[in-house]
Structure 1
Amino acid sequence: MKFIFTSLLLSSSLLFIACKKPATVSSQQPVTKSVEQVAEESPVVKPKRPVYENVSLDEKIGQMIMIGINDRKSIAATDSVLIEIKSGKVGGIIMFEKNIAAANSAATLKKLISDLQASASTPLFMSIDEEGGKVHRLKEKYGFVPMPSAGYLGNLNNLDSTTYYTTNLAKELKELGFNLNYAPCLDLATNPNNPIIAKVGRSYSADPDLVSKQAAASINAHHTQGIKTIVKHFPGHGSSMSDSHLGIVDVTNQWNIIELMPYKTLIQSGTIDAVMTAHIINEHLDQSKLPGTLSKVVVTDLLRNMLGFTGVVFSDDMQMYAISKNYGQENAIKLSILAGVDVLVFGNNVSASDRIKASEIHAIIKKLVLSGDIPESRINEAYERILALKNKEIN
């Protein structure tokens, strides 16, 4: 095993000990029934067929791909993106501020989303980063609702205020056609000088209990409006000293086990829809020095097996320099899927020469499956989780 966190976890009863109620013992005598009575009272239950049965490999892989559409603000019927969606090469779209028109912003964005969604045989994840504060695409200057930062709401520490602002935001997302938001952050502001989390107000607090309560209020507010959420950045980006958009980030010397507390709390409560991984190295968790997104120890052993998360895992943007400049595109794709990541995000917030089409990502994954580098069973797992999230009823 390539991890050394077992002793840490075992010593932390707050994180990993769950109490179970003792089984009740009936004082009544058991009732004896005949075989015929049991048969009559027990209808035959047919085995449940897996959702991936009779689904092509191409379609299953396509559902694993989330793509940015460059700076498009509208889309023509002959656009290559629509062709890729129609051919099943895309499972989701991520929008950015560059996709918002300066005039008639809401109507134009709503039509763009509708046109994209109309081309998909399986409904797309239509997603956006809307944390509020600095990470706020739908700005007031375009006529959208205000959304303060997590830092502001955490300092205020009033759940009614968090619910009020987030409900307004989620209502707007729903009206525009979004169904998935990359928020809230569960990162703890343990390093006040963190340039990508604390200093820009993306964390509610350094207190894991406060973060858990604020995040739960945010998620529930999204759910009242029919919006699913992705919490981030697992297993914790709050203690970092640098920005993984720009290069390798290693938190080995700063990370603390309490950064897992909000995940544990919300996973146990059943609140979380999906989790996003962090591109950070943490040798306390994985001595191989792989960033979380590429680490089976972090995604499968820790998040799934130890914390019990069974839902969809999204990567952070695979084009961030922490990944793209250090691991190679094909290798990073392979490692992330083997690690347990279900949806790979390529935001295309890069130079034109570095942008990638969904069909190119699809071809890489398919080649890796056909060569045996990635077992098809891993694709089936991802597809099953993705379909379950897309079909999940939340309000």
Structure 2
Amino acid sequence: MRTRPVALAALAAVALVAPAAPAAAAPHESSPIDAILARMTLPQKVGQLFTAYVYGNDANTPSPADAAMNRRQYGVDTPAEVVQKYHLGGVVYFAWTNSLQNPRQIATLSNGLQAASSGVPLTISTDQEHGVVSRMPAPATQFPGGMALGAGRNPADAYRTGRVTGTELRAVGINQAWAPVADVNVNPANPVIGVRSFGSDPGLVAALTASQVLGFQHGANTSAAAKHFPGHGDTATDSHTGLPVISHSREEWRRVDAPPFRAAIAAGVDAIMSAHIVVPALDPAGDPATLSRPIITGLLRGELGYRGVIVTDSLEMAAVRQKYGDDRVPVLALKAGVDMLLMPQNMQVAYDSVLGAVASGELTEARVDESVRRILTLKQKHGLLTWTPVDPATAERSVGSPEHLRVAQAVTDHTVTAVRNDAGLLPWSGAGEKILVTGWNSSATNNVAALAGALGATPLVTNLPDDQKIAEAVAAASTRDLTVVLTNRAGDTTVTDPGARQQKLVKALVATGRPVVVVAVRDPYDLAYLPGVSTYLATYGYTGVSMRSLARVLRGDAPPRGRLPVAIPGLYPYGHGLSW
């Protein structure tokens, strides 16, 4: 196997940009941790195992609507009271909980929650993968997501992404990132991972996973979590809504799925997140990996030798709740070997079930202590056992700083991939000629307008167009010298685009005979569903930074540097990419 060389190569690739890793304390040598454990009650220990979300933009004065949500979910009004009621070990932030509005607000919320914690400071976390999963709002620096970094092939870029992201998270009091994604995306139809993955090659994914772990942890003192073990890259089912079954043999798992996790472990990753997937070759019992002792303890702890924190994916997801009730899931996860329980469906039920399992003897207090010790060790490693408030004014200066934005643009400039240029349209050098930018648009990033602005073009948003909108786009294209049409998962006619409207739009535009460039702004596989397209690029994302890089490539101000980190089945192999 090449997993060890891959891990070492990943570490070597960032040696020039990563400071030396601090030596980790052996678990039972830490007297501060022993002292904390000795004074904790069992309810406090059990609380340390849980990470939950809370509603409100302030720890003590949420809006009436957020207070009502907290009351319905937890029986108390404020985020601070939720933390205190359950002795929470961690809190996770989302936009829909109103936790993430702007740097000053986030920093103030973090300070308030930490002040409410009883004796042991919190891990405060969020999903900041970048690309399609990016929780921090503007003005936070936006990087391209995993598959774009895979196209760039540069471990140093993965490191810089982790370092800058971690620095901005720490500035607002977030000390734990649920990133990077270590899944190897070998299934083009994967509905839940896709462009979140670095690619389909285990060696590439391993190298970039290790580099990003180092960027977060050593570059920014922010805890990282590699996800989703044992590997979520070959599924056609979304674990948020169903229970995926992975058909990989044990040998395939070792060859395809395991290398990125081995590399993350070699890089010293603080946490590994489990997947709610069934892998019969790894555990024939049919339990999701999160609840599987053969997978969590046997493989991750045993075969891979991992000694850090194991965290569940969200326990609200359908896949982990399909076979067992909400009172059993947390207990079974702990029995499997998990340490941290993320977002239980019913906090009171989950909390009581763990306490009840200890009371009945199904779990021992020593087993709880084992997980609490790992969590406290993670907190100690990042200086969280002696918490200091963050400065909201400093947060405002750090988040989205000019230097961070320059790094993000430089990284993104390495990722745009030119796949096909059969008509020789690109680079487009027509000075003063009229350009139309149309197609799919995100209301969050306004990518059509962003690209049009960068090109000096006319924007026309069509999204999933009806016949009238297609006719409008065709009429506009017939009076332009060039049309750039953006697509998003145009081949997914089950969920994303049930009427295949994007395919119809592209066909109609190509039929005009006018120059057309198609750009996939999410999955690069769209070309397989778009016959007749002679010019095709992939950006793997649709944020402003990706649109600016795309505009430079289209104009010839920069060459396309990306190479496909996955194959486009039947058309182009892994590693293909043009330049000019």
TM-score after normalising by structure 1: 0.80
Tell me if structure 1 keeps the 8 A contact 2:59–2:78: no
Establish whether residue 343 from structure 1 lines up as the match of residue 379 from structure 2.
no
Question: 1:43-76, CA deviations, whole angstroms, 9 ceiling, x for partnerless residues?
Answer: xxx9987723343211111100110114x22232
Q: SS where residue 96 of structure 2 aligns?
A: helix
Q: Among residues 213, 225, 248, which one is paired with 1:230 in the alignment?
A: 225
Q: Match for residue 40 of structure 1? A: none
Partner of 1:197: 193
Partners of 1:240 and 1:254 within 8 A in 2 = no
Mapped to 2, the partners of 1:235 and 1:254 lie a distance apart of 12
User: Residue by residue, what CA displacement relative to the aligned partner does 1:5-45 show, whole Å, maximum 9, x if unpaired?
Assistant: xxxxxxxx44699xxxxxxxxxxxxxxxxxxxxxxxxxxxx
Q: Paired residue for 2:356?
A: 367
Q: 8 Å contact 1:65–1:361 — kept in the other structure?
A: no
| Residue in 2 that maps onto 1:350 | none
Structure with the bigger RCO (C-alpha within 8 Å, sep 6+) is: 1
Shift of 1:132: 0.5
1:99 positional shift: 3.9
Pair 1:293–1:218, CA change in 2 (3 A): same
**TM-score using structure 2 length:** 0.55
**In structure 1, distance between residues paired with 2:111 and 2:365:** 32
Which of 132, 150, 156 is the matching residue for 1:154? 150
2: CA distance, partners of 1:47 / 1:388: 10
- Does the aligned pair in 1 maintain the 2:326–2:346 contact within 8 Å? no
CA distance in structure 2 between the partners assigned to 1:125 and 1:47 by the alignment: 22
Say whether residues 1:246 and 2:241 are aligned partners. Answer: yes
The whole-number CA distance in structure 1 between the counterparts of 2:88 and 2:220 is 25
Look up the match of 1:210: 204
Once the 2 structures are TM-superposed, how far is the Cα of residue 86 of structure 1 from its aligned partner? 2.8
Identity %: 29
Does the 8 Å contact 2:326/2:349 carry over to 1?
no
How far residue 143 of structure 1 moved from its aligned partner, in angstroms, is 1.6
**Native 8 Å contact 2:158 2:212 kept in 1:** yes
Report the counterpart of residue 356 of structure 1 in structure 2.
346
2:307 is equivalent to residue 310 of structure 1: yes
Q: Is the 8 A contact 2:57 2:109 kept in 1?
A: yes
Whole-angstrom CA distance in 2 between matches of 1:254 and 1:192 = 19
Which residue number corresponds to residue 62 of structure 1?
47
Instruction: Count the aligned residue pairs.
Output: 339
CA distance in 2, matches of 1:217, 1:149: 14
Q: Is the 8 Å Cα contact of residues 89 and 362 (structure 1) preserved in structure 2?
A: no
- Alpha carbons 2:210, 2:263 under 8 Å: kept: no
- The answer as to 2:276 corresponding to 1:292 is no
Distance 2:124 2:227 in 1: 18
Provide the C-alpha distance between the structure 1 equivalents of 2:108 and 2:139, rounded to a whole number of angstroms.
Answer: 16
Give the aligned partner of residue 180 of structure 2.
184
65, 84, 87: which one pairs with 1:86? 84
Cα distance in structure 1, aligned partners of 2:321 and 2:283:
20
Aligned equivalents of 1:247, 1:376: Cα separation in 2: 33
Mapped contact 1:166–1:218 kept (Cα < 8 A): yes
Match of residue 390 from structure 1: 379
What amino acid is aligned across from residue 159 of structure 1 in structure 2? Answer: P
4+ aligned runs moved over 3 Å, structure 1:
13-17, 46-50, 77-81, 99-102
Q: Does 1:169 pair with 2:154?
A: no
User: Tell me, which stretches of 5 or more residues in structure 2 are unaligned?
Assistant: 6-27, 62-75, 384-580
Match of residue 138 from structure 1: 136
Which moved further from structure 2: 109-118 or 299-308? 109-118
Instruction: Report the CA distance between 1:315 and its aligned residue.
Output: 0.3
AA in 1 matched with 2:193 = I
Deviation at 1:228, TM superposition (A): 0.7
Residues 235 and 246 in structure 2, CA contact (< 8 A), matched pair in contact too: yes
Gaps of 5+ in 1: 1-12, 18-45, 348-354
Assess if the C-alpha contact under 8 Å between 2:106 and 2:172 holds in 1.
yes
Partner of 2:215: 221
- Residue 220 of structure 1, CA deviation: 1.4
Measured on the aligned residues, the alpha-carbon RMSD in Å equals: 2.4
Which entry has the higher C-alpha Rg, 1 or 2?
A: 2
